[in-house]
Amino acid sequence: MRRSSVKKTVKKKRRRKQKDMGSFFFRLTQVAMLCIIVGACFLFYQTGYIQTVMQLYEEAQAVMEASSIQDFQTNQQGEVYDANGSLIALLKNDKNIVYLSSDEIPQQVKDAFVSIEDKRFYKHRGYDPFAILRAVQSLISKNSITQGGSTITQQLARNIYLTHTVKWERKVEEIFIATALEKKYSKEDILEFYINNIFFSNGYYGIQAASQGYFSRDIDELTLSETAFLCAIPNSPGRYDPLLHMENTLKRRDLILKNMLEEKMITEEECEQALAETITLNPSKNTYTRTWAHTYIYECATRALMEATGEDYDTCREKLYTDGYRVYTSIHMDTQETLQNAIDEELSNYNTLNSNGTYALQASAACIDNESGLVTAIVGGRTQEDILPEYNRAYMSFRQPGSSIKPLVVYTPVLERGYTASSTVIDSKEEDGPENSSGRYSGAISLRTAVEQSKNTVAHKLLRELTPEVGLSYLLNMNFSSIEDEDYDLAAALGGFTTGASVLEMTAGYATLANEGSYRQPTCITMITDMQGNIITMPEPETRQVYETDAAHEMTNILEGVLTRGTAKGKGIPDMPCAGKTGTTNDNIDGWFVGYSAYYTTGVWVGFDSPRANSALAGSTYPVNIWQAFMTDLHDGLPAKPLND
């Protein structure tokens, strides 16, 4: 055999042996890898990781089964409007969301977020492994991450359903939820939810709130540069806070614009112009002055939602500040200011303070439009710097009403039972009866005179004849809320109640007389809608006939004399027919005046929060002065209109 042939044979044997060895090691490697995988799976199982992942998957599916659009539309900023349709308050909690539907969000906003946060948004199904690889590559090559590894859908899942705690379990569940979100909602829906719920620093959630907060303009009024500037903030609200770190926000704005150019979302010319534009912030200021009317509006709105939805008070109160309602009211802000000024000016010389810093001598008042039965103004106290108008005495405080209760609980009821204005009654002191405030007794007088001169003796005798049960039934029919068992006593004829009545209750009672004996439950809510304008409720005032029409007419006629001949003589509205009644409690602790024209009914209370005597306080002093000043201004320019017309 030739030497060359031998060499070839040897080489072939070596190659065969090497191939066999290679195959052996390859198979050995495969076996080793398989063992490692099996071992890892076993270890994964033994340590509970697989069970945890499966549990997270099941939890994510449960979350998505219960998911609805409402999950992304909570914490929306609501709005309150006065009777003229002017915005007077914003309803919000710790979040400040002004929600926009997808078609209300400018396309450049959507493009900006997609370009910087999730380039493959329209291609992936919730979870994008390529984004994670890009983020890692960016971190290695540039020592910074210019685009995050989480998709927009993952960020939405995290913001709405999860916490921001950095744990592998949270990341896994985030991916599961994001994937499920993509199956349940469209890309446009997800982008809408995302843009409305992300945080823009300084309490602003959503692009519209941010636009109004930083530029005092709506988002559709901003330039491309301003839009990109806002879209820079959510990536790191602290680092990119434009009020504190403008330079950081501008750098990220520039990056967004360049990304939009690369993705052909804008032209090179548009990019250059936007990069060159100077950003000038114009932070919004809260121009909505909070008044005593606001606390009453929120109370009425909560009650209206309870009626409409059947839900409890606490739930409706919370939803009022989170569900983006539009609340329309009967409050006239100019009337509100007029009533507030009348109180402040009349009591301006009495500035003694309580230990908590509030004025000691206080007042409250309410005004009802007689045509609609709705509250047009309500004041719960004096104006005082650094004291928030929260404790609204006009509907929260209950005080003994004194003689101002007589027409409601005594005189109008007896007019239904055969008495008239000219009926003879006896003004005389009885052994166990009350005294007249003047200390004088006139004997036989007309019922009209007894009302005009506020004769306590006559009211007491008539209630004994009528019975307290009958007299108080009229108050209960008008929803007086604090009548107690101990109040079924003849002292009720003079307003001697255990708890008392509120200014609003008294005003609604007199408005019943002005409305021919028909009671309407006072409120200031005319309509509540959702953010799309769908009507939630249009409350119809509760009405019921409490007094006979003829009795209400005659009572009104009698009460006109109080302002011309009686305890409030000379305190009427110039050139305008009006009626009313004073009220003063024992030791001059509380002073009241409640009166009405054909147009409006207004009630006023003056006193101390901690009841105490004041010799200068009576229904015929501060209360009627406030009433006259306010009602005179309110009726300026209105044609004279007879009562009972």
Question: What amino acid positions are annotated as catalytic residues?
Answer: 117, 403
Q: If you count them, how many residues does the chain have?
A: 645
Question: Do 282 and 215 form a contact (C-beta atoms < 8 A)?
Answer: yes
In whole angstroms, what is the distance from residue 608 CA to residue 400 CA?
Answer: 12
d(CA 108, CA 499): 61
Among 94, 93, 97, CA closest to 76:
97
Nearest-CA neighbor of 620 among 444, 450, 452, 427?
452
3-state SS assignment for residue 267? coil
Amino acid in position 574: P
Buried-exposed string 476-495: b where 16+ CB fall within 10 A, e elsewhere: eebebeebeeebeebbbbbb
Helix ranges (DSSP H) in 220-327: 224-231, 246-262, 268-276, 292-309, 313-320
- Distances in Å between the Cα of 520 and the Cα atoms of 182, 371, 398, 504, 514 are 52, 11, 20, 12, 11
What sign does the CA torsion over 306, 311, 312, 318 have? Answer: negative
65, 97, 75, 100: which is closest to 188 by C-alpha?
100
18 neighbors 135 (Cβ within 8 angstroms):
no
Q: Classify residue 196 by its DSSP letter.
A: H
Q: Which residues contact 545 (CB under 8 A, 6 or more apart)?
A: 517, 518, 519
Instruction: Give the largest CA-CA distance in the chain.
Output: 162
List the alpha helices (DSSP H) in 406-502: 406, 412-415, 447-452, 456-466, 468-477
